[in-house]
Structure 1
Amino acid sequence: MGQLSSIEIKHFKEVREENNFTQSDFAELLGIKNSTADIERGRTKLSGKVVAELLRQFGINPLWLFGQSGQKYLQLSKGDVSPKVITVDSSDNENMVMVNQRAAAGYPHNVQDVEWYQQLPAFDIPLPEFRNATYRGFQIEGDSMLPNYYPNEWVLAKAVPDLDQANNNKVYVVVLQDSVLVKKLQKLPDVSKVLLISLNEEYFPIEVNINEIQELWQVNSKLTFNLDNPSESGLFRELKQSMEDLKRELKSFKKQA
């Protein structure tokens, strides 16, 4: 039987009392058997299904519920880049949805479609680093984030509730209106815009309006399948240096001609 922390109990009870529900009425509303008494005593785990219902019916931020954010309510307004859908497994535990390259093409257009998420693979990672927060996996496409992130690798990213909590020069999965990008983020003096930067210097930075950002996920780990080639990043740097040398030689040759 799972145990709740004091902050989860406090916040859960706060939502119930603010909305003037009895324990039994609140339980019925959230799809809980009998009463919320065991949850409020810390005897019963706060399931992913209950967390999802609190978000859907009351706009309660899951990150606030677990003490990870000071923002209690989620509103689809300027600056809100929190997840629009949270999925749970058959045991009502929140799980991690994996968005591959093909699914990423449709992700921006289905960001609030609960049924669409059900077709995507999802699982739970039983590690402390992945507890008490919402995570999602995204597959890398293209070479714009070389040499740190290679095509077909997966990044595992933590939900960011609003842009105020985003940090400069961290890598994020940025869900725009028509695309999903993995980029380093930099805030600008004009607070209505941010700069998205590729690690591969062959790509120019992209300036976007913050109202174009639907969701933001901070990358904190990755799944790689290049373990059989540990020197690949070094090889990439060598190739890049060779290309620069070749460019200089060509320029010198043109001047002599």
Structure 2
Amino acid sequence: MLSTNLKYLRKQQNLTQVQLAEKLEIKRSLIGAYEEGRAEPKLATLVKMAQVFGLSVDELINPDLPNAQKAGGANRQPNVKVLSITVDNQDRENIELVPYKASAGYLNGYADPEFMEELPKFRLPMIQAPGTYRAFEIKGDSMLPIPSGTVIVGRYVERWQDVKDGTPCIVVSLQEGIVFKRIYQQKQETLRLHSDNPSYEPYEVGFEDIVELWEAKAYISTTFPMAEISLDKLTALVLDLQQEMKKIKSK
């Protein structure tokens, strides 16, 4: 139960009730109440607890957490597995859109049903594969040729280690917020994030900082790409330009 697990985890990390309360931004008396089973934390506090201890909410409320941790070992991957979703009048999951302006709020409200209910929602009939999907508006030029303002539709990833290297993903992390990158697995419990724009250097994010991972499955953009010029056409243009330059010089 949560009261036992919370006390166990706090002692595992050598935290006092005061120190844990500061990390959770709540009163110390609440920690005592939670550990004694006299009160239950709100969902937002529960999610923050899971993040502090590097667990999913499911694992945090596991009735036999000490034994589960011993069995799982120290190198298990701490994925957050609880999602707040919305459904339409036919009980089908919506695709919630997280506009760029709502990115900061999403880090605090991704597990809050009320926050999710306020986001714009839509469906894409062409996406038939099972799973939970969410859409994020991206900003910046780090993933060119996909332009700033594009909406990336991603499928929620429960097991990060199953994602192949080089897969484009939306990464939601405490360190960087919401970013769109290609991810590569690292041995030291980190993901290495790469931009398609070579002007940006790769960097690493630790598993403990990652809140969610969404594998990119589609994108929506109001900017149309420029038509590519074939090598033959480019050669012809260069020859025409050279001919024009010769004519100008001969005059």
Counterpart position of 1:230:
226
Specify the code of the residue in structure 2 equivalent to 1:143. Answer: D
Counterpart position of 1:170:
167
Percent of residue pairs bearing the same amino acid type: 30
Alpha carbons of 1:174 and 1:133: their partners in 2 closer, same or farther (altered >3 Å)? same
Superposition pairs for residues 2-81 of structure 1, below 5 Å? Answer: 75=59, 78-81=77-80
Q: In structure 1, how many angstroms separate the alpha carbons of the residues matched to 2:229 and 2:155?
A: 26
User: Are 1:96 and 1:124, in contact at CA under 8 Å, matched by a contact in 2?
Assistant: yes
Specify the code of the residue in structure 2 equivalent to 1:163. Answer: W
For structure 1, list consecutive stretches of 5 or more residues without a partner in the other structure.
Answer: 1-55, 57-72, 235-257
Q: In structure 1, how many angstroms separate the alpha carbons of the residues matched to 2:138 and 2:82?
A: 19
Superposition pairs for residues 1-257 of structure 1, below 5 Å? Answer: 75=59, 78-82=77-81, 84-127=83-126, 129-147=127-145, 149-177=146-174, 179-190=177-188, 192-227=189-224, 229-231=225-227
User: Are 2:58 and 2:82, in contact at CA under 8 Å, matched by a contact in 1?
Assistant: no
Specify the code of the residue in structure 2 equivalent to 1:93. Answer: R
TM-aligned CA deviation for residue 82 of structure 1: 4.1
User: If you compute each CA radius of gyration, which structure gives the higher value, 1 or 2?
Assistant: 2
Counterpart position of 2:50:
none
Q: In structure 1, how many angstroms separate the alpha carbons of the residues matched to 2:89 and 2:140?
A: 35
Q: In structure 1, how many angstroms separate the alpha carbons of the residues matched to 2:91 and 2:202?
A: 41
Alpha carbons of 1:82 and 1:217: their partners in 2 closer, same or farther (altered >3 Å)? farther
Alpha carbons of 1:83 and 1:233: their partners in 2 closer, same or farther (altered >3 Å)? farther
| Residues 176-213 of structure 1: per-residue CA shift (max 9 Å, x gap) | 025101011011132x1111111111111121111111
Q: In structure 2, how many angstroms separate the alpha carbons of the residues matched to 1:138 and 1:233?
A: 31
Q: In structure 2, how many angstroms separate the alpha carbons of the residues matched to 1:233 and 1:156?
A: 29
Q: In structure 2, how many angstroms separate the alpha carbons of the residues matched to 1:198 and 1:93?
A: 34
Alpha carbons of 1:156 and 1:130: their partners in 2 closer, same or farther (altered >3 Å)? farther
TM-aligned CA deviation for residue 84 of structure 1: 1.9
Specify the code of the residue in structure 2 equivalent to 1:137. Answer: A
Number of equivalences: 159
For structure 2, list consecutive stretches of 5 or more residues without a partner in the other structure.
Answer: 1-42, 44-56, 61-75, 231-251
Give the SS at the match of 1:142. coil
| Residues 42-67 of structure 1: per-residue CA shift (max 9 Å, x gap) | xxxxxxxxxxxxxx9xxxxxxxxxxx
User: Are 1:83 and 1:161, in contact at CA under 8 Å, matched by a contact in 2?
Assistant: no
Two-structure CA RMSD over aligned residues (Å) = 2.5
TM-aligned CA deviation for residue 133 of structure 1: 1.2
